[in-house]
Structure 1
Amino acid sequence: MPVAKLRPKTYRELLETVSVSVPEHYNFAFDFLDAEAAADPTRPAMIHIDNDGNRRDFDLAFFSRESARMANAFKDAGLKKGDRVMVILYRRLEWWVTMLALHKLGAVPVPSPNLLTPHDIDFRVNYAGIKAIIAEDSVVSRVEDARPTCPTLSVLVHVGEAPMPAGWLDYETIRAAASDVFPRTADAPGGKDTLLIFFSSGTTGMPKMVEHTHGYALGHMPTGVYWHNLEPGDVHLTVADTGWGKAVWGKFYGQWMAGATVFVWDFRGKFHPAELLEIMSKHKVTTFCAPPTVYRFLIREDLKKYDLSALRYCTTAGELLNDGVFRAWKEITGLPIHEGYGQTETCLQIATFPCMEPKPGSIGRPAPGWNVTLLDEEGHVCPPGVEGEICIGLEDDKNVGLFAGYLLEPAKTASVMIDGYYHTGDKAWMDEDGYYWFLGRTDDLIKSSGYRIGPFEVESALITHPAVVEAAVTGVPDPVRGQAVKATVVLAPEFDPSDELAKELQNHVKKETAPYKYPRVIDFVDELPKTISGKIKRAEIRARDANREI
């Protein structure tokens, strides 16, 4: 049975009634998937739409059977418990089967984005001691370029139709030869064994390896059941690539625990918002989660052309939601957008849950089981209205899904685990109602003439202007103010850079927010520097401007 959903009417009741505990030796693939498939084998699990629009439907029995088959196939190929396996696949069916198979085998998947260069692959393979790569055919050539300098690689599995280089195993061939029975043994993985490793985005410095144990999967139960507000039979779409943590937040553990069907659109190439709306309309998506950037593109379309009548609940995460986007989406669809906040190192920490009234721009209140507090630079708890760092109290019975540490980097782990708290490095403030308001990374805050200015609030004001598609706000050296606010702006196609437009944007910000926050410097660019996960690299912009004064 799906997780029995409680229906708290207030936030207090949510905290008092919803909890997560991890049974000893818990393993999602055995304890949830196989158990559920045995009890209800035909329960819908996934709707998969490929790049050509072809639809396939899969039930729980399929994933139980195929993950057992591939666990045997990977074992026969030489993989064993503890081996690290880079998985570079698009949103194709084999990603889910592979992840579950590795969970059963105990080999440790390292989900990786398909945009990795040969240099990226070389770095990650050698740093993590990766033994195997399971890769999309379109990525194989880049793996081949890196392969000569990756001595730990001994197992290579090719997925797709393109010709296969020498030394690779074909996914379908090894699948066909393997048994679909993979019994759980006494030494089967689970509990405090490593479940998976994420490489962090690396907005500053080289990416770190974030290690999660098997309890992490259960930590996503509140994500699917309570934040996404899923019911059995829901068709849930989270817009996320499989190389990043958001995929397991929104396309895997919590959604299946809630009884929902995971909806996957495996589009390739450039994202087109009209195509997404057509897909959602045609296949009757009921619940939807996407980063605010996607919502910004969607509200520029004529939403009335699409039948979104099946859609009943919307969420967002990954960056901060601007007030204008929230109001425009609600005006057109009638649905508010419920924000959530977490990190690669955590599960959902803070969110606006169904029992709460959304406040546009607020990330919400702490999730059940998470001991969240704001600390100032001296380690004191911040009262309402005072900004501080989001920190997590490290009690043994709370924070299910908090990472075990940065693999192979005990000093970095110790640098964020201080005096009984995990320090997220993110700044926020809390209002009198207990809602949190995100300000940005601690390094991103701008100190100008005694004011502390969060980049998000200025970016939010900028993108309400029709000329602005994206904006990154940073500080530049200023001999009088210490720092001045600078905006790096990407314009909509119908607008051209000019001094007049820069002045117009400055005046617009003065009207939208406190006048002292307006950008005294505006640079127009074709694109913003971003990590391969799509996060703005404000540190790179700051580095370019380090010797610049206004």
Structure 2
Amino acid sequence: MLDNFAHKNLPNQELQPNYNFLDLPQFIRLEKLNCAYRLLDFHIENGNGSKICMHTFDETWTYQDLFDKANQIAHVLIDDLGLQSGNRVLLRSANNPMMVACWFAIIKAGGIVVATMPLLRAKELKTIIDCAEITHVICDHDLADEMRLVKSEYLQKTTFYRNSDLESKMASKPKNFINYNSKADDIALIGFTSGTTGLPKMTAHYHKDVLNICEAFPMYSLQPSSEDVFTGSPPIGFTFGLGGLVLFPFYFGASTFLIEKPTPDILLKAIQDFKITICFTAPTAWRVLTTKVEDFDISSLRKCVSAGETLPLKVWQDWYEVTGLKIIDGIGATEMLHIFISSNEENMKPGTTGKAITGYVAKIIDENGKEVAKNTPGRLAVQGITGCKYLNREDKQKEYVENGWNITGDIFKEDEEGYFHFVARGDDMIISSGYNIAAIEVESVLLTHEDVLECAVVGMPDSERGMLVCAHIVLKDAAKANDAHKNHIQHWFKENAAPYKYPRIIHFVEALPKTETGKIQRFKLK
């Protein structure tokens, strides 16, 4: 029996974006397609079952190990938990091998994966479960207490792993499984966009989308091989992490190193001890890694990827100066599944996000949808192999998709060479006394001050100027947090940038509020 909730709630065809490049050979997929086959079963069929696919500090899994366990879990889902094709299954876990096995099991069994961040609380989890009418939950037992607080009319079965009931059910199951005969445009996963207060937005992605992004960003920017070892800090519940730590390594028969609590020191130790070659993390993490990297041997590392928010030029320069490695910046979106503008070794301009990668086109438009002149800030519009498909949110779909283009909510400008420069998030533009001031511009200047470790800039309402530039600064030396030093930084700023942009308000703080993915939560500062 088919649960048709997700397909039934897809936006009408006329509200969906236009898709480009799907006629290129690398993006052509068979009509019948289960993405788990190409990512996992394919390697077993080709005799690579004994190759390592996942490491942690405590475990090593081969492709055969993952294949066997995913198949056993798929049997549990159908035989013991009554999963029907199309049922949504919530995954709640930090990054670990069993979470990945469960991800594949759900896909193999014909379910739809809804992977979540491990720090979400019961109220947020209930909102997700109710919005997506989720019937099943698989949760790491370490996170069981919060999960048990969730009550929903839709929830039918909750099972736990890590020396718990899932492993006991798996023990008697066969290690072979016939994958659900899904179609290329069946929904494989639902990603919830950042923020789960109120009614969150859930965006759907097809089986073919999951595979096609593996032919886009990795081929353009990483040139991966089966010998690569991937790692990073983003949770697998975040599509940036799903791509970088699961989809991309497995598509190319490589391996991934998973870290449940990836502090900078732990990340550097993993790179050193396990000869990591490709690392994904956020700009704020790259900044901290720069201060610690000389204590570690990272000679194996060949590709560094940054996304989640824009990469300040100072962070890029500092990392390059210390390591000789060029950080690959990129912009993606949950709505688009992964990165669509980025760079590579031959095609990099420090301080810019890059160019539209193979599989995508982008342009800058004004409020009326008309393309603007070069070097003129405007709204970023994107088309390509993936696109926004909000479930059950026609109002938000109309906001995100205009005339077939995905409107990301970012303000960019494009230069004469086709490089895209981040200006601001649409809601991060500060208008003060008639001046348009991008928060990121102020942050980029402040980060060059020798005393500033981190900073975040927001606009504060003001009766005279409309808004004031307000900077929240983490100092390298907290002992300098006094009014005299605020004045010093303000005067220094005016000498190094347009005076109208200087922060009229400065707060010294011990730390900036961040999401699990490393994004600064500016709304909390506002």
Q: TM-score normalized by structure 1? A: 0.86
What is the rounded CA distance, in whole Å, between the counterparts of 2:440 and 2:399 in structure 1? 26
CA contact (8 A) 2:355 2:420 kept: yes
Amino acid at match of 2:89: V
Amino acid at match of 1:323: L
Amino acid at match of 2:185: K
Q: Does 1:391 align with 2:386?
A: no
Offset, 1:464: 2.6
- Of 336, 354, 358, the match for 1:368: 358
What pairs with 1:178-197 in structure 2 (closer than 5 Å)? 178-184=173-179, 188-197=181-190
Mark the runs of 5 or more structure 1 residues left unpaired by the alignment: 1-13, 165-169, 394-398, 543-550
Q: Does 1:78 align with 2:79?
A: no
Residues 349 and 20 of structure 1, relative CA distance in 2, 3 Å threshold: same
Query: Alignment partner of 1:300: what SS?
Result: helix
What is the rounded CA distance, in whole Å, between the counterparts of 2:252 and 2:131 in structure 1? 37
CA contact (8 A) 1:72 1:178 kept: yes
Q: Does 1:402 align with 2:405?
A: no
Amino acid at match of 1:452: N
CA contact (8 A) 1:226 1:354 kept: no
What is the rounded CA distance, in whole Å, between the counterparts of 1:328 and 1:532 in structure 2? 24
Amino acid at match of 2:327: I
* 1:353 match: 344
Query: Alignment partner of 1:483: what SS?
Result: strand
CA contact (8 A) 1:46 1:264 kept: no
- Of 149, 156, 159, the match for 2:158: 156
Q: Does 1:225 align with 2:227?
A: no
Offset, 1:510: 2.8
Offset, 1:122: 1.9
CA contact (8 A) 1:225 1:257 kept: no
What pairs with 1:532-547 in structure 2 (closer than 5 Å)? 533-542=517-526
- Of 312, 318, 323, the match for 1:333: 323
* 1:27 match: 34
What pairs with 1:153-302 in structure 2 (closer than 5 Å)? 153-161=155-163, 170-184=165-179, 188-202=181-195, 206-221=199-214, 222-267=216-261, 271-301=262-292
Residues 513 and 219 of structure 1, relative CA distance in 2, 3 Å threshold: farther
What pairs with 1:348-497 in structure 2 (closer than 5 Å)? 348-356=339-347, 358-393=348-383, 399-403=384-388, 405-492=389-476, 494-497=478-481
Mark the runs of 5 or more structure 2 residues left unpaired by the alignment: 1-20
CA contact (8 A) 2:428 2:439 kept: yes
Q: Does 1:321 align with 2:306?
A: no
* 1:130 match: 134
Number of equivalent positions: 503
What is the rounded CA distance, in whole Å, between the counterparts of 1:119 and 1:519 in structure 2? 37
Amino acid at match of 1:274: D
Query: Alignment partner of 2:148: what SS?
Result: helix
What is the rounded CA distance, in whole Å, between the counterparts of 1:144 and 1:334 in structure 2? 48
Offset, 1:493: 5.0
Per-residue deviation, residues 411-437 of structure 1 (Å, max 9, x unmatched): 211222122212111111111211111
Q: Does 1:69 align with 2:72?
A: yes
CA contact (8 A) 2:110 2:179 kept: no
Higher RCO structure, 1 or 2 (CA under 8 Å, sep 6+): 2
Moved more, 232-241 or 491-500: 491-500
Offset, 1:291: 1.0
- Of 144, 150, 153, the match for 2:148: 144
Moved more, 501-510 or 170-179: 501-510
Q: Does 1:306 align with 2:310?
A: no
Q: Does 1:507 align with 2:509?
A: no
CA contact (8 A) 2:513 2:521 kept: yes
- Backbone CA RMSD of aligned residues: 2.4
> What is the percent sequence identity of the aligned residues?
30
CA contact (8 A) 2:230 2:255 kept: yes
Query: Alignment partner of 2:190: what SS?
Result: strand
Offset, 1:144: 1.4
What is the rounded CA distance, in whole Å, between the counterparts of 2:107 and 2:32 in structure 1? 12
Q: TM-score normalized by structure 2? A: 0.90
Moved more, 527-536 or 363-372: 527-536
Q: Does 1:39 align with 2:46?
A: yes
CA contact (8 A) 1:232 1:258 kept: yes
Offset, 1:18: 8.3
CA contact (8 A) 1:387 1:427 kept: yes
What is the rounded CA distance, in whole Å, between the counterparts of 1:18 and 1:319 in structure 2? 32
CA contact (8 A) 1:73 1:177 kept: no
Residues 432 and 30 of structure 1, relative CA distance in 2, 3 Å threshold: same
Query: Alignment partner of 1:406: what SS?
Result: coil
Query: Alignment partner of 1:298: what SS?
Result: helix
* 2:16 match: none
Amino acid at match of 2:288: F
Offset, 1:43: 5.8
What is the rounded CA distance, in whole Å, between the counterparts of 1:509 and 1:160 in structure 2? 52
What is the rounded CA distance, in whole Å, between the counterparts of 2:102 and 2:94 in structure 1? 12
Amino acid at match of 1:259: G
Residues 137 and 55 of structure 1, relative CA distance in 2, 3 Å threshold: closer
Offset, 1:98: 0.7
CA contact (8 A) 2:39 2:247 kept: no
Offset, 1:40: 2.5
CA contact (8 A) 1:46 1:262 kept: yes
CA contact (8 A) 2:133 2:154 kept: yes
What is the rounded CA distance, in whole Å, between the counterparts of 1:193 and 1:206 in structure 2? 24
CA contact (8 A) 2:32 2:182 kept: yes
Offset, 1:172: 0.4
What is the rounded CA distance, in whole Å, between the counterparts of 1:468 and 1:245 in structure 2? 31
CA contact (8 A) 1:19 1:368 kept: no
Offset, 1:202: 2.0
Offset, 1:375: 0.6
Query: Alignment partner of 1:459: what SS?
Result: helix
* 1:119 match: 123
CA contact (8 A) 1:376 1:382 kept: yes
Q: Does 1:59 align with 2:62?
A: yes
